[in-house]
Amino acid sequence: MSNIKRIAVFTSGGDAPGMNAAVRAVVRTAVYHDLFVYGIQRGYDGMIRGDIVRMDVSDVANIIQRGGTILKTARSEAFRTKEGRKLAYENLAAHDIDGVVAIGGNGTYTGADIFMSEYNIPFVGLPGTIDNDIYGTDYTIGFDTAINTAIEAVDKIRDTADSHNRLFFVEVMGRHSGFIALHTGIGSGAGAIFLPEIDSSIEELSEFLRKSVKRQKLFNLVIVAEGNKNGDASAIANQIKQLNPEFDVRVAIIGHLQRGGSPTAMDRVLASRMGHSSVKALMRGEGGVALGIINDKITFTPFKEAVAKTKPVNKDLVRMAEILAL
């Protein structure tokens, strides 16, 4: 066991449903073990500005069900600079903080890794992002809620697409990764899914859609990840319309709707487990690691490895989605 006495927790990058459940678990586990715990507001920016407040059990009451993050979040430019990180260190040191739980994505881990190469305060990372694009974990906090929100939205679009015999292109988030698109596509029974990781052909999609119409399937749904190589949903819709002027085409962008809302049971439990385990990890003397869950077991991956490696989408699921769309 290490001599950790005071820990801090913050959320960083895009908010994700379940971040609050993770903060709650960190605070309550810390208090249970007689540690002092602090919340840092607005991620690395708050660390630099010294927005650090003591937290107790009651500060995290009634938040497990809330989306967003009570600690607020930011994508910090200042923390990329040596001067910024020095100020951050001085603020942590002023509170005698000897361990930090960082909840966020790859950018958050990169910042923590650089900071730890300069200063001797251990960080443990928790994967908090709707994108599910972090190496070293099967699931990230927020992903399950985001795909449930997206699927609910697509179900509604399906009703109107069916009623009008329309072809809908629905854009979901995922600049670099297609997990949200793939799972939304499978879960909503989409005709086709465009992912950043897979090259898709407009001509093949056009052919597929024409065949569907021949089989009397008069409406269709195509899920488009924002980062796919063929352009955004409107660009792809325009190309398909040019090739098939007879199609009645519409576009819907789910956007930030899929980042908000009350976390699902899966996300609440995942975040609670991860938050709890992160404090125990700091108490064991671990640092410089990203916590994950693989085959239902808590795992640890060095920040460097988590950031350097890309989590691939499951090609078997991609193939399955094609077969089920027949």
Q: Which residues bind ligand F6P (CB under 6 A)?
A: 14, 105, 129-131, 173-175, 226, 259
Smallest separation (angstroms) from ligand F6P to the CB of 132: 10
Which member of 98, 131, 133, 267 is catalytic?
Answer: 131
DSSP calls for 197-225:
TS---HHHHHHHHHHHHHTT---EEEEEE
- C-beta separation of 37 from 67 below 8 A: no
Between 147 and 321, CB nearer to ligand F6P: 147
Q: Report how far apart, in Å, the C-alpha atoms of 80 and of each of 126, 201, 212, 310, 325 are.
A: 20, 39, 50, 22, 45
The CB-of-100 to ligand F6P minimum distance in angstroms stands at 21
Concerning whether 131 is annotated as a catalytic residue, the answer is yes
Instruction: Give the shortest CB-14-to-ligand F6P separation in angstroms.
Output: 3
CB of 226 to ligand F6P, least distance (A): 6
CA angle 293, 297, 303 (to 5 degrees): 45
Closer residue to ligand F6P, CB minimum distance, 243 or 257:
257
Which residue's CB is nearer to ligand F6P, number 113 or number 131? Answer: 131
Maximum separation of any 2 CA atoms in the chain, in Å: 71
158 vs 259, beta carbon nearer ligand F6P: 259
Do the Cβ atoms of 122 and 288 come closer than 8 Å? yes
* ∠ Cα 290 57 15 (to 5°): 45
Query: Where in the sequence numbering do the catalytic residues fall?
Result: 131
